[in-house]
Amino acid sequence: METISAHLAPTPSLDFDHPAVAAFAREAAGGGTERDRAVRLYYAVRDGVRYDPYAFRLDAASLAASRTLQARAGWCVPKAVLLAACCRAQGVPARLGFADVRNHLATERLRELMGTDLFLWHGYVSLLIDGRWVKATPAFNIELCRRFGVLPLEFDGTADSLLQPFNARRERHMEYVRDRGLFDDLPFQALATDMRRAYPKLVALAESSADAPRFEADAVRRPE
């Protein structure tokens, strides 16, 4: 039998017991039903925290919800952690989900740093709303979508919100290739081990003192 309390508790990564995370969740969620609150939180994290794979960090403290909120930028995993933490803070059961995805539109610089277009441990969130688990993917903020010609990923609290297979110009975009399952907390050691093995150049950049580029610079603004 599933224990819902495990999906509502704070953890070292989902640290909604941090005052800043609790306040952000409370202000962004507003009132209404759990679905209303979860949807508002989705958009607050999607658009209020800039997606940037060059903000990549690989220590457990940097992936905590409180640190992502402070930075207001992060890749898909810390953004998923922040959304899950905020939903738990508002009484909406949440789990972290992970999948390996192939990004057919990865930029040249990002492919060069990663050595591949396969993104391991792509993060999303699974939320229990009105008795059903639904998936929410808050990775790409709307401004980034406009720059890259990607359709913004919407979430209404009733249907799964997953990365689209095509962009706004009908070019192949995201392909899910492996489901890694659902977790009550961030499986940091497994994630870090795979990242260090698969992306040594990206990890080296993250651990160096060099200034990382901004991901927006990889694209020119395109019409919607």
Question: What distance in Å separates the CA atoms of residue 173 and residue 81, rounded to the nearest whole number?
Answer: 24
Can you give the pLDDT at residue 212? 66
pLDDT in tens, 172-197: 889 999 999 999 999 999 999 999 99
Per-residue pLDDT reduced to its tens digit, 8-27: 999 999 999 999 999 999 99
Q: State yes or no: pLDDT of 218 exceeds 80.
A: no
User: Distance of alpha carbon 122 from its chain centroid, rounded?
Assistant: 8
Which of 122-126, 204-208, 211-215 has the lowest average pLDDT?
211-215
DSSP states of the chain: ---GGGGTS--SSS-TTSHHHHHHHHHHH-SS-HHHHHHHHHHHHHHHSEE-GGG---SGGGGSHHHHHHHTEE-HHHHHHHHHHHHHHTT--EEEEEEEEEETT--HHHHHHHTSSEEEEEEEEEEEETTEEEEE---S-HHHHHHHT-PPPP--SSS-----SB-TTS-B-EEEEEEEEEESS--HHHHHHHHHHH-HHHHHHHHSSSPPPPGGGGS-----
Asked if pLDDT for residue 4 goes beyond 50, the answer is yes
Check whether 220 has a pLDDT greater than 90.
Answer: no
pLDDT of residue 2: 63
Q: Domain residues of the chain, as ranges?
A: 4-207
Tell me the CB-side half-sphere exposure of residue 223, using CA atoms within 13 A.
0
How far, in Å, CA of 182 to CA of 94, rounded? 10
- CATH number for the 4-207 domain, one of 3.40.1190.20, 3.40.50.300, 3.10.620.30, 3.80.30.20? 3.10.620.30
- Rounded to two decimals, the pTM is 0.93
What distance lies between CA 1 and its chain's CA centroid? Answer: 28
